[in-house]
Every structure is written in structure tokens, then in C-alpha cells.
Chains A and B, each alone.
Chain A
Amino acid sequence: MSSGLVLVANGLVRRRGDKTIIAGASLTLKLGESVALMGSSGCGKTTLLHLLGVLDRPGAGTVLIEGINPWSKGRNARAALRLRRIGFVFQQSNLIPFLSARDNVALPAWRLSGSRRSALAQADALLDRFGLSVQARAPGGVLSLGEAQRVATARALVNRPAIILADEPTGSLDSASTEAVLDSFDEIVREGTTLLVATHDSRVASRMHRMVHMQDGALADQPIPTTGCPSPFTALKIPAGRRP
């Protein structure tokens, strides 16, 4: 993208029944930027990630991924967009339990290229990079939570996506595992991948370039001065009457 904007979300609204989960949220993410999406449990962080990751359709508003509006495309095009340009890391149960760690990582690459051999080569390289070579052949279901999260991070990276969306990736981890996962995130960002992490852990937020607060389905941006974001960029729209 010549503008350097990886994701532009504008006026997103999502309702479930009578309840408004996301109330006009807007957010812009730049290339190589890491952003912490903070907020209390149930405030709508996961729903927003799903809207941004084209897993869920907004009731109103638009999402542009590298300038493409996925909801103007068909289902197959949206699946292709998730395959090529978006990586997901969820809080837990991230892996296909009956596949080995390397097969889990290789899965998106195999789907994209059609070649198992090259996909496994990519997976091995990523697992090696994340220090998981020993666990490569272990089934996803037997890995520790920390290992599973790092394997999931490797899987999210394997097709070199534009953006990684992580939903409470350290929520179930101990301190050591949390550090390992955050180190892997640092590496991702250094390589220029955009990272949006939903968390309520301030340790995680402090490792990001900036922080966005979510409350009652609306967003408020808060730059974090200590991290030295290379190019902090805020494109924040708070619906009238909701600005804190």
C-alpha cells in the first residue's frame, strides 16, 4: 500500500439482538505498527477483532484491508483475504489437536500453495525461529499453552500476512510463556507486520507502539510514549457523546 495503511475501519456497528456490542468504532492501522486493544471483559474486543478480521460482518460501517472492502466481495474472496493477508491468534484452543505442530503451522501455506513439501519447509523454518523445533512433531493437543500460542503465532505468520489479530494471546499463560509469546510478537513487528492485540494485561500493552481503549463498544486512543512507536498514527473516531 502506498499510503502505508493496512487496515481502515470506519464507523463499525455490531448488534446482537437488542444489544449493541460495537457502537461506531473506527480504527486505522499502519504498516509495521503494533497496537494494544484494551478493555474489560465483555466490552467488545473479540467482536471488534472478528469484524476487522472479516470473520463477522458489521451491521454498519466499513472495513478496508489494504484498500479492499471484503464485504463487497464474495465468500470465497473473503476466505482468500483471510488466507493471504490476515493472521489470527486466539486465546486458547488455537491448534488443530490431531495435527502435529508443524502440520498446524504448514496448514495455511499448504492451502495457499498446494504444495505440502514447501509448506512444511516454511513451517520448519518458522518453528526453528520460535525455538520450537523439538516440539515440531508433537500433536497440537499435547503442547503446553505457551508452546501452543507460539505455534499459533508461527501459523499466523506462515503466509506472511499484512496484519495479525491476536485475541488475549497471553490470557492463559504464565509469566515465562507470556514473555516468549511477546518476544515473538516483537519479532513480527520488527519485520513489518502490523499487529493488533486485544488484551487487558498492561504488560502486553506496554510492549505495543500504542494502545486503544475500548469501553461499551467504543474506542479511545492512547499513545504509549515509552515504546517509541516508529510512526504513531491515530485515526480515531469516537461517536458523539461517547468521547471520554
Chain B
Amino acid sequence: MRTTQLSHSDVAGERAAAIERPGRSAASPGLLLFLAWKALGENGLSLILLLLAVAVGVGFQIPNRANLAGFRDEIMRQEVSSGLGQVRVRPRHGERFLDVTDMMASIARLPSVKAVEPILVLPGAIRSGGHFVVLGITGVSASAGQRPYERTAGADLVPGDNHGTVLGERLAKQIGVSVGDDVDIQVLLSTRPRLVLDDNGMGNYTLKVRGLAGFAALDSAFVDWGFLASETGDDHSASALLVWARNDKVELARKTAATVEHLFPAATAMSWLDDSRYLRSVVGAVQALESIAGGMSLFGVIIPVLSLLYIDALHRRRQVSLLSAIGFREREIFLIFFAKALIVGIVGVLLGAAVGWGMLGYFNLHPIYNYEKFVVRPTITFGNMLAPVLLVLATTALAGSLPAWQAARVNPSDTLRRIE
């Protein structure tokens, strides 16, 4: 062993220098991270379990959230954006507006409105061969860019088409027709028949199936609004005006509806959410499922992370006391343990995000629901990826803060007194 002899005058000088020696008031982040990282690496099994808990939480949350969002988006697409629009305007009294020309022009000028189209729905029936179905016959504006249905086969109606119809896929199948076939349609044209009517005020037409429609229009029959309205004797009458807003947000729809009602007191205007109990139920159910699944996965993260880090903090009481004896502050000891939770959280969510991303790819190729054109594919958005990641990361940090706080409060004197 090498020895070094110092004189007492040397020692006194060195001592004075030591007292005055500058130093950091707080530990460097690098030191705290180093200790956290090294401590994590000490127990491989515990580390793996911690990472698994976090990764599984994120890996489950991402596809779950995306699939639920996909389900809601598909419903919205079918029922709203490719359906009846975000705002539905109906006459406050009576069955229809007799002339919607001015009303449409006024509504179309609203800044929140993308399109406004009339529909005229009259009771009727459709027949082909031996099949006969009673239904509402819907007149839609053939010149409009926006339709309350999504065509899945054949051609669309064109303006002035007095001999064509678009049928819902399920209806066409039910009566055994396809694109190009003729169908017989009867329509109750109310009390003011204009053209060829039978004694009961019915319009009888033989129309050619131009195309087929899917989604929410599976059981519907559409004809040109201009044609149908003229058959009633009121060329510009409509049962309702369908308004498509700039986006699907219910707040915008409600605001637009309120404006329309203010402009036209004789009309009622309702947002898609207020107009449809079905959509209201779906949106509520999706939100509830998101909350329940999110809560379950958070519990799935918080319980193992909290338990493992709590046990770890108990196990390391002597090490904590040594750090305290060396001169580490309570806050720094807290930060070391908190950094461990953060490291676990960050690595875990990255692993989980990779797993979740892979599962999104799988569900995109193999949708969880695919029946009669209703296909639920995961909606992959930055928010759907980021929200579970941030939520689980925050949960992990929260779960790690309690053991860290406990570690920081270890009484070093009590712990060091025990021989372990």
C-alpha cells in the first residue's frame, strides 16, 4: 500500500480550501439518471415485469381506442356525412315546406355550412315480380354534390331523370333486382295529383334501377327530387332540408341549427346528435367503452408498477440511507426513484406503442367487424396513438411517485442501525 505523508500545515491549508471549495448545490441530472438506470438493471426480472405491465397497457389501449374510434367514425360516416347531414331542418307545422328555394339559398350562405339539399319523402311501395315492399320513396336532388346515401354499384341519378331510381342493396336483394332491371313504384302523392293518377291519388311508375346504395340506405329507394316534387304539384316542396356542416362536431351543428331556427321560425332545426336517439346512444356507448377500457388498462398498469416499485423502495432502504449519509438530499433521492419510474414508463410505452402499431396493422387487414358494408377499421390518428402513450406514461409516473416519496422519507439513522 502506498502512503503519503502530509505536514499539519499542509493539512490546515487543504482543509481551509476544502471548506471553501465550490460545489453543486443540487445533484447533476446525469448522476440521478445514472443511479436510476443502474438500480433498474440490478433486478432483471423486476425490470421485465415493470416493462411488460406498461407495454401491455399501451399495446392494449392503442388498438382498442383506434377500433372504438373506427366504429364511431363508421357510424358517423353512414348516418351523418354520407347520410342525413349534420343538421336536419323540418317544417314546424305540416308535412313539408311548399317552396324551399329561398330557404336553401339563405342556409347555404351560412359560413358553417358546406352544402344544403332538399329531400322529399312520400309513402309508397316497390314491386318486382312477386316481391312487394312498402316503404318511403325519397326524392333527392340529382344535381347535388352531396347525397344522403353512398352509391356502391351502377350509376347515380342525373338531373331530369324521370325514369331512374337508386335502390338500397338490401332492398334490391329482397325484391330480386339489380342494376339495369325495371321496378314498379307506387307513390302516394297527397291530395294534389298532377300527372297520371289512379282513383286513390297514387302515382304509378316503372323505373329502371340505375345504381345501388349501401350503408344507412340499404333499405331505401331514391328518385330525382325534381321529378317527385313536380309529381306532387309543388315543384320546390321538400319534407326536410339536409345541411352538411364544415365538420362533424356537434357544437358546430347545434350552433348552425340555432341560426337556422332564428332565420326561419317556421322551421325546426336539429343537430345530428339531438335528432337521432340511435346516434346519441352510439356516441354515449363508445365514450363509456373508451372510459371503461381505458380505466381497466390504467389499473392494469398502476397496480403492478406501484407494487413493484414500492417493494423496490422497501428493499433499497439501506441504499437510500447510505445516499443520505453521503449527502444526497431527500429531493434527489425522490428524483432517483421517480426517474426509475419514468425510464420504465418511457421504455415501456415505446415497446407498447410498437406492439400497438403492429396490432393496428393487423386490424386494418382483418377488421374486427365486417357485415353488410359496415366495416370497422381502426381510425389511426396522431391523437389515438399519443393519448394512450401519454396516459400510460403519466400513470406510470404517478404510480412511481408514491414509492419515490416513501424512499425519500426513509430515516437513515433507523435503517443504518439495522445490520442487513
Binding site secondary structure of chain B: helix
Which chain B residues border A84 with CB–CB below 8 Å?
18-19, 21, 23, 327
A228 to chain B, nearest CB (A): 15
Please determine whether B1 and A55 come into contact, CB atoms closer than 8 angstroms: no
Partner of B4, one of A85, A92, A191: A191
Q: How far is the CB of A209 from chain B (nearest CB, A)?
A: 14
Choose, from A123-131, A213-221, A234-242, the stretch at the interface: A123-131
Q: Do A112 and B328 touch (CB < 8 A)?
A: no
Q: In the complex, which range does the number of interface residues on chain A fall in?
A: 35 or more
**When chains A and B are docked, how far (Å) is the Cα of A112 from the Cα of B25?**
8
CB distance from A91 to the nearest CB of B (A): 6
| Contact A31 B12, beta carbon cutoff 8 Å | yes
Interface centre among A99, A184, A192 (most CB of B within 10 A): A192
Interface string of B20-64 (1 = CB under 8 A from A): 010111011011001100110110000000000000000000000
**Contact between B31 and A160, CB atoms less than 8 A apart:** no
Task: Assess whether A111 is in contact with B11, with CB atoms less than 8 Å apart.
Answer: no
Q: Are A187 and B327 in touch, CB under 8 angstroms?
A: no
Given contacts A88-B325, A116-B31, contact A99 B2 (CB under 8 A): no
Docked complex: A193-231 residues within 8 A CB-CB of B: none
**Min distance, Cβ B281 to any Cβ of chain A, angstroms:** 55
Residues of A within 8 A of B39 (CB): 98
Residues of A contacting B416 with CB < 8 Å?
A: 46, 50, 55, 90, 167
Q: A79-B324, A84-B327, A98-B39 are in contact. Are A114 and B28 (CB under 8 A)?
A: yes
Contact B12 A55 (CB under 8 A): no
Residues of B within 8 A of A130 (CB): 1
Contact B6 A192 (CB under 8 A): yes
Contact A96 B322 (CB under 8 A): yes
A107 to B41, CA, bound (A): 18
Interface 0/1 of A95-107, CB less than 8 Å to B: 1111100010001
Given contacts A82-B325, A112-B327, 5 further A-B contacts (CB under 8 A): A55-B324, A96-B322, A97-B42, A167-B416, A190-B3
B5 proximal to A (CB < 8 A): yes
Q: Quick check: is A108 within 8 A (CB to CB) of the other chain? A: yes
A60 at the interface (CB under 8 A from B): no
Partner of A93, one of B5, B18, B30, B420: B420
CB-defined contacts of B38 to chain A, threshold 8 Å: 98-99, 103
Asked if A190 contacts B6 (CB within 8 A), the reply is yes
- Name the distance in Å between A135's Cβ and chain B's nearest Cβ: 14
C-alpha spacing A161/B15, complex, angstroms: 8
| B318 / chain A contacts, CB cutoff of 8 Å | 93
Contacts of B41 in A (CB 8 A): 98
Minimal Cβ-Cβ distance residue in A for B41: A98
Is A53 among interface residues, defined by CB-CB distance under 8 A?
Answer: yes
Residues of B with C-beta under 8 A to A159: 18, 327
The residue in chain B whose Cβ has the minimal distance to the Cβ of A68 is: B19
Q: Are B25 and A192 in contact (CB under 8 A)?
A: no
- Which B residues are CB-close (under 8 A) to A32? 8, 11
| Docked-complex contact B15 and A111, CB < 8 angstroms | no
Taking the nearest CB of chain B, how far is it from the CB of A115, in angstroms? 8
